[in-house]
Amino acid sequence: MDLTLPDDATLTRDGFVPETRSGRVLVLACGALAREILALIELNGWDHVDLHCLPALLHNRPDRIPAAVEEAVSRRGADYEQTFVAYADCGTGGLLEATCQRLGVQMIPGAHCYAFFDGLATFAAREELTAFYLTDFLARQFESVIWKPLGLDRHPELRDMYFGNYETLVYLAQTEDAELTTRARAAADRLGLAFERRYTGYGELATVLAENI
């Protein structure tokens, strides 16, 4: 497959569609997971896998995720022996799971990427009510996925209406990257939250993909 991904802004806004089909398994993923999944494909030599990403901005409109996934699976899935949906529930209230069941495709278990990066059981046991999470992608794209879509660039006075009940920004780091940590810490400062960095690596994303593709 073509292993060159577009930049993060493109992954956020448009997603990524490979120009040619080369594998027999299609992984249909959130654009926010593109780099991590590509890294796992390279690491494991999964040459039979093609990656197709939907725009990461769907993160902000979970109600639109099931239809977007269904459209992409319907359009591209027939070209492959198998399709795997690299989304967790992601705020769809079970609708994405129902869609995947209807389409006969597997997806990532759990509530969202924060949970499977941290580990589903570990994440649930933490019961971190007042934590707001960033991943590597969100640390890089904080401005375009969080700050601007919430209108905080134009109306910073809204910050506490959104984040007033949070206490800590937890950066779930997939990689050891000092610059991303600096960015995540700056995001915490802008949101008025305490900062915590937690290295997760690829967490259960690695095992779930290995089991399903």
Residues 43, 46, 52, 53: is their CA dihedral positive or negative? negative
Q: Report if residue 125 touches other proteins, rule: CB under 8 A.
A: no
Residue given tokens 């707001």 in the structure block:
132
Q: Report if residue 93 touches other proteins, rule: CB under 8 A.
A: yes
Say how far apart CA 203 and CA 114 lie, in whole Å: 10
Which residue in the set 104, 109, 151, 192 belongs to the binding site for other proteins (CB under 8 A)?
151
Q: Report if residue 154 touches other proteins, rule: CB under 8 A.
A: yes
Say how far apart CA 14 and CA 92 lie, in whole Å: 20
Q: Report if residue 135 touches other proteins, rule: CB under 8 A.
A: no
Order across the sheet with 194-199: list the strands: 131-134, 168-173, 194-199
Q: Report if residue 92 touches other proteins, rule: CB under 8 A.
A: yes
Q: Report if residue 150 touches other proteins, rule: CB under 8 A.
A: yes
Q: Report if residue 147 touches other proteins, rule: CB under 8 A.
A: no
Q: Report if residue 158 touches other proteins, rule: CB under 8 A.
A: yes
Q: CA-CA distances (angstroms) from residue 45 to 42, 124, 158, 176, 209? A: 5, 32, 46, 22, 13
Q: What is the nearest approach in angstroms of other proteins to the Cβ of residue 126? A: 12
Q: Which residues pair with 86 in a beta bridge?
A: 29
Only one of the segments 27-35, 78-86, 127-135, 198-206 lies at the binding site for other proteins (rule: CB under 8 A); that segment is 127-135
Which residue in the set 17, 76, 162, 196 belongs to the binding site for other proteins (CB under 8 A)?
162
Which residue in the set 111, 144, 177, 195 belongs to the binding site for other proteins (CB under 8 A)?
111
Say how far apart CA 77 and CA 83 lie, in whole Å: 6
Token duo for residue 43: 């690491």
Token duo for residue 72: 């992409």
Size of the site for other proteins (CB under 8 A): 25
Task: Give the DSSP letter of residue 145.
Answer: I
Q: Report if residue 103 touches other proteins, rule: CB under 8 A.
A: no
Q: Report if residue 109 touches other proteins, rule: CB under 8 A.
A: no
Nearest to 53 by CA among 7, 109, 98, 102: 7
Q: Report if residue 89 touches other proteins, rule: CB under 8 A.
A: yes
- Binding site residues, other proteins, CB under 8 A: 62-63, 89, 91-95, 111-112, 124, 127, 129-130, 149-152, 154-155, 158, 161-162, 165-166
